[in-house]
Structure 1
Amino acid sequence: MKLPEHAPTTLPLLMAFDLDGTLIPDAGREVAADVGDALGRLRTLGVQLAIITGRDTPPGAVRDAMRPHAVATNNGGRVLVGEDLHAQATFTDADLEVVLAHELPGARVVLFTEDALYVDLPPGVEPEAWMRARSFRPFADAPRDGVLKAGYYHPDVADLAGRLRDSHPHLVLTGAQAPYPHFLTVTPEGAHKGAALTLIADALGVPHDRTVAFGDSDNDVAMLEVAAFGVQVGHLPLLTPHADARVDTQADLGAFLHAWADRIAAHR
């Protein structure tokens, strides 16, 4: 696979990856063998690696394969560099109260804290597959402090997103549009992937003009805008203006990363 000529290949270099639809297939649990091999080559060559995801925790198999230097979860609201917590954004009481007043009858609502998730399931509504795989707790037991992220499943989440953007523009909203028209994520002020990438680069001592971001969805826009070089995985139209290169499908990522490793090795 051909790598764009203007792709950065000189160290120091930081590569940050979204998970679902980018580093792994949607709802996946592990990286493909060729992706894992390429990540190992990049790390050996001196490239620093980061995961920046909307998930509240990356799968263990992904972490084992990648051995990231930093991990940001909850759309960038919680940032670990090595094993050290560098940032954690939580809702204020007032903001959480507004977010929970969602006016979406029958919505499935999930609140995420550092160590648990709390799910509101209306009668007769089945949990999502990823919820069933987790030991979630009753929504009524959710605390009102320490909430990192709220998620909503409902056909009318776009209406909620519009109301929140009008009344509380400092909150960070993603989803409620393609490719997730029925899912909305809300995070506190400043909790987005672009801020996480900046913090990680600073903590690792990587100049901002030596950062690369990979993403496939609307919650990756902030990260691609901040990165010196952005790579779109897939063909989501709203992401295209923010990318410097494209990987056509998630299955092509391994070949693309191997080509990058080849270029770095050739310049050493």
Structure 2
Amino acid sequence: MPLLAFDLDGTLIDESTKTHAPQLAEQLKTLRQQECKIALITGRFVLPPQILDLVQPDAWALGNGNRIFVADRCVSRHFLSEIEVQTALDLLGDLKLTVVGSAITDRPVNFVFDCDDPRWDPGRPGGHILPLTDMADHDVLHVMFMGEDAPIMRERLLSALPDLNVTGGIPPYTDCVNLYARQAKKHLTLQTIAELLQVSMDETIAFGDSDNDLEMLQAAGHAVQVGDMPYLNGICQDQVSCPLVGLPEWLDRFVAQGFQLKR
């Protein structure tokens, strides 16, 4: 049986409503009952428990693969080096961007420049918000730059750090650009998960909606574009409209076809 690998935001979760299709839980349950493997590969730093309860993946990855989990066990981590982080920060110049760095200590922590700003209050009780100046003392997983200058920062990062994973800064995420370690790329993560779950890459089906998913969609045995971003046109075998309508329709067809793809 195949491995179905899903991006989260914009693929399983609708961006505008922050909801999923009401039939999704039952569809995923049907797939699991037929011994299909399910993976969740997201750029998010953390996942709320209800997402894992919904998907119940055999494996999942955070930060595009800077952390990979199988059966609740973290099997790999990939950090940015201190030099890489400092190089990225030096590129800011006069750009108007909010910087957030992320790391794992005994808890997930975010490092922010405006540490006293009330918008960070929700994370303060658990000690999840620290000053940006503290970031150099930690193993950094991810740095995010938020603001209208994100597209400019994207170009600077791609030029100065071409081996790293730079995502966002283009539609549909024009106000945010992210930097991850060179190994934290979704196509490499898909390959790792497939190997861990003993599924050949030919039997993988990937679902994604944005630039962050492009290489994963190219690497998969079968690819499904969710949405209409033009830079994904032509690299996927299938295209569906959105997480709330097109994706569940595709899954229904897949089940009706006996969990086989029409080649």
TM-score bucket (shorter structure): 0.7 to 0.9
3-state SS of 1:261 partner:
helix
The worse-fitting range, judged by mean Cα deviation, of 203-212 and 69-78 is: 69-78
The worse-fitting range, judged by mean Cα deviation, of 97-106 and 47-56 is: 97-106
- 1:124 positional shift: 9.9
State the distance in 1 between where 2:18 and 2:244 align. Answer: 15
State the distance in 2 between where 1:104 and 1:200 align. Answer: 40
Structure 1 residues 154-233: aligned runs within 5 Å: 154-233=147-226
State the distance in 2 between where 1:56 and 1:179 align. Answer: 19
3-state SS of 1:87 partner:
strand
- Pick one of 150, 162, 169 that aligns with 2:143: 150
Identical aligned residues as a percent: 28
State the distance in 2 between where 1:122 and 1:266 align. Answer: 51
- 1:26 positional shift: 2.0
Residue 4 of structure 1 is matched in structure 2 by none
Give the TM-score of the pair, scaled to structure 2. Answer: 0.88
- 1:121 positional shift: 4.9
Segments of structure 2 that go 5 or more residues without pairing to the other structure are none
Q: Compared with structure 1, are the counterparts of its residues 242 and 256 closer, same or farther at alpha carbon in structure 2 (3 Å cutoff)?
A: same
- 1:30 positional shift: 5.8
Residue 257 of structure 2 is matched in structure 1 by 263
- Pick one of 31, 36, 40 that aligns with 1:42: 31
Deviation digits for residues 25-47 of structure 1 (CA, Å, limit 9, x no counterpart)? 22776643211111110110110
3-state SS of 2:140 partner:
coil
- C-alpha RMSD over aligned residues: 2.3
Q: Compared with structure 1, are the counterparts of its residues 220 and 42 closer, same or farther at alpha carbon in structure 2 (3 Å cutoff)?
A: same
Q: Compared with structure 1, are the counterparts of its residues 143 and 82 closer, same or farther at alpha carbon in structure 2 (3 Å cutoff)?
A: farther
Is 1:107 the equivalent of 2:101?
no
State the distance in 2 between where 1:265 and 1:177 align. Answer: 35
Q: Compared with structure 1, are the counterparts of its residues 134 and 250 closer, same or farther at alpha carbon in structure 2 (3 Å cutoff)?
A: farther
The worse-fitting range, judged by mean Cα deviation, of 94-103 and 175-184 is: 94-103
Residue 17 of structure 1 is matched in structure 2 by 6
The worse-fitting range, judged by mean Cα deviation, of 24-33 and 200-209 is: 24-33
- Structure 1 stretches of 4+ with a deviation exceeding 6 A read 123-126
3-state SS of 1:165 partner:
helix
Q: Any conservation in 2 of the 1:118–1:141 contact (CA below 8 Å)? A: no
State the distance in 1 between where 2:123 and 2:44 align. Answer: 12
Is 1:137 the equivalent of 2:137?
no
Q: Any conservation in 1 of the 2:103–2:140 contact (CA below 8 Å)? A: yes
State the distance in 2 between where 1:206 and 1:99 align. Answer: 37
Structure with bigger RCO (C-alpha 8 Å, 6+ apart): 1
- 1:111 positional shift: 1.0
The worse-fitting range, judged by mean Cα deviation, of 219-228 and 257-266 is: 257-266
Q: Any conservation in 1 of the 2:96–2:148 contact (CA below 8 Å)? A: no
Q: Compared with structure 1, are the counterparts of its residues 188 and 104 closer, same or farther at alpha carbon in structure 2 (3 Å cutoff)?
A: farther
State the distance in 2 between where 1:89 and 1:27 align. Answer: 31
Structure 1 residues 26-41: aligned runs within 5 Å: 26=15, 31-41=20-30
